[in-house]
Amino acid sequence: MRIYYNSKEAADSGAYGEKNERRNKMKHLRKQIAGYLLTLILLMAGIVFPGSGEKVLASGGSMTVHFLDVGQGLSILVQSEGQNLLYDGGPRSASSYVVSYLQEQNVSEIDYLISSHYDEDHVSGLIGCLNAFQVDNVIGADYIHDSSLYGSFMDAVAAHGLEVQHPAVGAEYTFGSGEFTILSPKEISKESNANSVAIKLTNGENSFVFTGDADFNCEADMVNSGLDLSCDVLSVGHHGSATSTSWDFLQAAVPEFAVISCGAGNMYGHPHADTMEKLSDMGIQVYRSDEQGTIVASSDGSAITWSADPCNDYTSGDGETAGQSEGENGFTAEDNSGTDAAAASEKSEQIAAADDSQEEMVWISATGSKYHSIPDCGNMNPDKAYQEPVSQAEAQGYEACKKCF
């Protein structure tokens, strides 16, 4: 069942999705045929592919996964056989960086643009990419976020003559030399993070799982779905927050590597000590954008090589740093902190940070487009409300509540 965060009605996209899927299959078939013809020409010319004399790879082809350093946010670019997939675009402050990075990778067309959910630190940079590149398909969760950024995102999608596709769990898409499968969300929640579109990307024997800001409940749905969650590389949910990366989910995924995207010295203390302890206990090697910047993994279908060695730093983030901080590329650390009860410790860290910086803190409700001076204004549920600096709230599109301000 679809849940709307305001009274706006959304158009039925079922027929559109079927038509778009047929178009995608034909497009991929044409690319495959072109690839086969090129391979045949090279073989006839006596040219072999790199390796041990084999003329074709046993499984999979070349696939490169770029975990961009966007500060406190998430953005992942995947490239394979001339196709491009962009999973999230980071916060507004990193938008121009994401566009320029893609241009440096010779991206002119984005075959799949995926918004895990519509929080500012994930969707803002996608707007810039929609304005800068040709985009063929847009995938996102089937809910309406009551924020100005959500409206800007939908306008940018419409400008391409597209609609956001809302595939069901288990839907499969061919991409480059591999494919990706939709893992979540099973159903739509009132919590934005719980609506995260998670995917499993497979290239031959190698696989990657991206979960956006999926929380424990969303992870439980994935574990119970019956889908294969095992992977070589896990993009750790919600920047390493305590509301994500449950034991059950980790034991189902059993990744060899974990990549954490978070801002250096961010005010939320990401990654959380509980999450890092789990990764350490399971012997999962760790990459961190707050320490290592942009990280690139390259898969040939049987092995994964990295642009750097894992840092394997299992310490938690610095939750005592006041106000907003900057990552390696100078981006402001912004986030929509989870509203799950398990985030209580993070809220106290936010308050402590605000006391140090003297910046006014405001309350954000689970839904709505206003920020408040008190946690129980009107019909707000104080148990679901969280605090953040007023500058961050305004940057995310929230406006002051006229009732309590």
Distances in Å between the Cα of 403 and the Cα atoms of 79, 365, 372, 375 are: 49, 14, 8, 13
- Give the integer Cα–Cα distance in Å for 89 and 75: 5
- Give the integer Cα–Cα distance in Å for 332 and 339: 21
pTM of the model: 0.69
pLDDT at site 37 = 54
Strand ranges (E), 125-170: 134-135, 138-140, 143-144, 164-165
**Chain region(s) in the chain for CATH 3.60.15.10:** 59-306
Contact of 193 with 119, CB cutoff 8 Å: yes
DSSP state of 326: B
Low-confidence ranges of the chain (pLDDT < 50): 1-17, 19, 38-39, 41-58, 319-328, 332-357
- Give the integer Cα–Cα distance in Å for 336 and 144: 16
Count CB-CB contacts under 10 A for residue 38.
10
- Give the integer Cα–Cα distance in Å for 222 and 295: 26
- The alpha carbon torsion through 249, 251, 255, 257 (nearest 10 deg) reads 80
Give Cα 318 distance to the centre of its chain.
22
First to last CA, the chain: 35
pLDDT at site 280 = 94
Q: What is the CATH number of domain 59-306?
A: 3.60.15.10
